[in-house]
């Protein structure tokens, strides 16, 4: 099951970086050691569900976000996933009014590109 472990580790790293966190900061937020975080990101650790829960809680993401396999994506898909990660992080920091305004802006942009 090394492939899944590597996929999850790569996603943890990508999301952590999108959020502007260091391994040390993620370690502090999750209650884990920074060296342990590094080994998880590299796919070297066979971590438990409890450890995964600590990491997703610290990253403030649903666990499903860790299971996208970036290695099977083409360049466009990788670029799209990175944008989705960044937008998701931004939207999670907004209130309902801000999200409503953002949605209207996005719809207007879509119409402009058509």
Q: pLDDT per position in the chain (114 positions), as tens?
A: 588 899 999 999 999 998 999 999 999 999 999 999 999 999 998 899 999 999 999 999 999 989 888 778 899 998 998 898 889 889 989 999 999 999 999 999 999 998
The gap from C-alpha 87 to its chain's centroid, in whole angstroms, comes to 11
Cα–Cα distance measured from residue 109 to residue 62, given in angstroms and rounded to the nearest whole number:
28
Query: What structural domains does the chain harbor?
Result: 1-68 (1.10.260.40), 73-114 (no CATH)
Three-state DSSP string of 46-113? CCCHHHHHHHHHHHCCCHHHHHCCHHHCCHHHHHHHHHHHHHHHHHHCCCHHHHHHHHHHHHHHHHHH
């Amino acid at each position: 099951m090394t492939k899944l472990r590597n996929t999850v580790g790569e996603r943890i790293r990508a999301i952590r970086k999108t959020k502007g966190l260091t391994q040390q900061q993620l370690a502090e937020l999750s209650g884990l050691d920074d060296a342990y975080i590094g080994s998880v990101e590299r796919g070297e650790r066979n971590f438990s569900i409890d450890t995964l829960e600590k990491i997703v809680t610290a990253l403030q993401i649903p666990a499903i976000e860790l299971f996208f396999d970036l290695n099977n994506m083409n360049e466009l898909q990788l670029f799209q996933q990175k944008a989705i990660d960044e937008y998701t992080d931004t939207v999670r920091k907004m209130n309902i009014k801000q999200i409503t305004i953002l949605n209207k802006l996005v719809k207007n942009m879509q119409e402009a590109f058509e």
